[in-house]
């Protein structure tokens, strides 16, 4: 005869005490969230500027009633480049001037010349595929500007409808606010963009 194995009694599970979890402080979390939002908002405002297009001077690339984000950081860590679309405080009298948006054409130390309604940099014709239409002789008379240290020359893409360096002269580095990088309104016009990039050979 075979001995039947004895069935082992199952012992009851041991009830180990659970670790005590501290209840989160709701008020503290709300305050921390508010502070974080305030810090992020402050940093965004320090790094960027919102800009509103009011006139036709940058057509066909920017139109009236469009809203842009302008980066201050681009020129904090780098220098303005030809072809950039820049927001700046134009030179004028003691009364506050509204900020303007134009394209950067001439850099420090260069000679900007308008000859037969076309733009030349140091005697070389500048390729400008971004312009709206050929400039007429009234708006682009023959003239020359020699830029000094920290001086920049700006022109609108819509040359026949733009108040720019042809009127108020060169713009110093300290008046430059930043580079336009994002168009965020109207919603159908949302875009991330950069200025026209010239190769070193074409400059």
Segment 73-106, tens digit of pLDDT: 999 889 999 999 999 999 986 566 689 999 999 9
Range of the domain at 166: 50-192
**Percentage helix, strand, coil for the chain under 3-state DSSP, each rounded to 5:** 20, 25, 55
CATH number, domain of 61, equals 2.10.109.10
Q: Could you say which of 102, 162, 165, 202 is catalytic? A: 102
Q: Is residue 12 domain-resident?
A: no
Kind and range of the H or E run holding 37: helix 26-47
Residue 6 counted as domain residue: no
Beta carbons within 8 Å of 162's beta carbon, 6+ residues apart:
57, 58, 102, 155, 156
Cα dihedral 123→125→127→133 (10° resolution): 120
- CB half-sphere exposure, 151, CA atoms < 13 A: 14
Alpha-carbon span 150 to 137, nearest angstrom = 29
Answer whether residue 38 is part of any domain. no
pTM: 0.80
pLDDT number for residue 35 = 81
Residue 114 placed within a domain = yes
Catalytic residue status for 71? no
Radius of gyration in angstroms for the set of CA atoms belonging to the chain, rounded to a whole number:
31
Three-state SS at 67: strand
Q: Is 165 a catalytic residue?
A: no
> What is the separation of C-alpha 52 from the centre of its chain, rounded to a whole number of angstroms?
13
176 φ, ψ (degrees, to nearest 5): -80, 125
Residues facing 171 on adjacent strands = 152
In a domain, 54, yes or no: yes
Query: Would you state the pLDDT for residue 201?
Result: 47
| DSSP alpha helix (H) spans, the chain | 26-47, 73-76, 165-168
Please write the tens of the pLDDT for every residue from 157-186: 999 999 999 999 999 999 999 999 999 999
CB of 75 within 8 A of CB of 47?
no
Torsion over CA: 162, 131, 116, 112 (sign): positive
Name the percent of the chain lying above pLDDT 70.
80
- Position 199 in a domain: no
How many independent structural domains does the chain possess? 1
Is 187 part of any domain?
yes
In this model, does residue 36 exceed pLDDT 50?
Answer: yes
From the list 24, 57, 71, 201, the catalytic residue is 57
């Amino acid at each position: 005869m075979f001995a039947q194995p004895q069935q082992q009694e199952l012992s009851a599970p041991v009830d180990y005490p659970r670790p005590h979890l501290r209840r989160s402080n709701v008020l503290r979390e709300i305050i921390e969230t508010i502070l974080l939002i305030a810090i992020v908002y402050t940093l965004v405002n320090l790094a960027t500027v919102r800009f509103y297009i009011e006139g036709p001077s940058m057509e066909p690339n920017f139109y009236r009633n469009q809203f842009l984000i302008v980066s201050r950081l681009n020129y904090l860590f780098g220098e303005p480049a030809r072809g950039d679309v820049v927001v700046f405080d134009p030179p004028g009298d003691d009364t506050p001037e509204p900020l303007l948006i134009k394209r950067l054409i001439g850099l420090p130390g260069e000679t900007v010349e308008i000859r037969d309604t076309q733009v030349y940099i140091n005697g070389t014709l500048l390729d400008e595929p971004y312009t709206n239409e050929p400039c007429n002789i009234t708006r682009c008379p023959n003239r020359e500007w020699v830029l000094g240290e920290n001086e920049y020359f700006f022109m609108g893409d819509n040359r026949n409808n733009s108040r720019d360096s042809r009127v108020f002269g060169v713009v110093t580095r300290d008046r430059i606010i930043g580079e336009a990088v994002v168009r965020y309104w109207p919603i159908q016009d949302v875009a991330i963009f950069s200025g026209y990039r010239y190769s070193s050979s074409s400059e």
